[in-house]
A = this chain, B = another copy of it.
């Protein structure tokens, strides 16, 4: 997805734009502008906007997988890192999770690699891991969407949720 140096530069510009101004700012024209070139020139490097997005998604998963692997199998710490990742670059997190996974265009094994620490942390049951993942994803998206009441104690909700999924 990022074979050439120019492709890497384009992805870096797109990611910076996404982080700084959010999803709505991620347009072909704005990405080109950040690189001081014109929009049509981008099409020599990527097939279209979606290809750039897929590149960002792959990048995001690789970094997330790395961060989770560094944690190991401590469920509470996995939760902390998962939440921190999403809050650090909310727009990237949404891009990664809002639509169907472009599995065919992602590096082999990346999805499994990202999931592995959580599966281990809940005791090996994939269904339990999926439930715990849904909990974490729900907490993060509701927080990002500003859907919790202002007074809600999110740290406590995380604690309650993660301890509910601790291995038995």
Contact = CB atoms under 8 A, between A and B. Distances in A.
A46 interface: no
**Copies per assembly:** 2
Contact of A157 (B100, B131, B154, B158): B131
- Top 3 nearest A-B pairs (CB, nearest first) are A138-B138, A134-B138, A131-B161
A99 interface: yes
Contact of A127 (B100, B127, B157): B157
A27 interface: no
Given A127-B153, A130-B152, A152-B130, A161 B146 contact: no
A25 interface: no
A2 interface: no
Contact of A131 (B97, B100, B135, B146): B135
A122 B167 CA distance: 20
A130 B148 contact: yes
A47 to B, nearest CB: 21
Interface in A118-168: 125-128, 130-139, 141-142, 145-149, 152-154, 156-161, 164-165
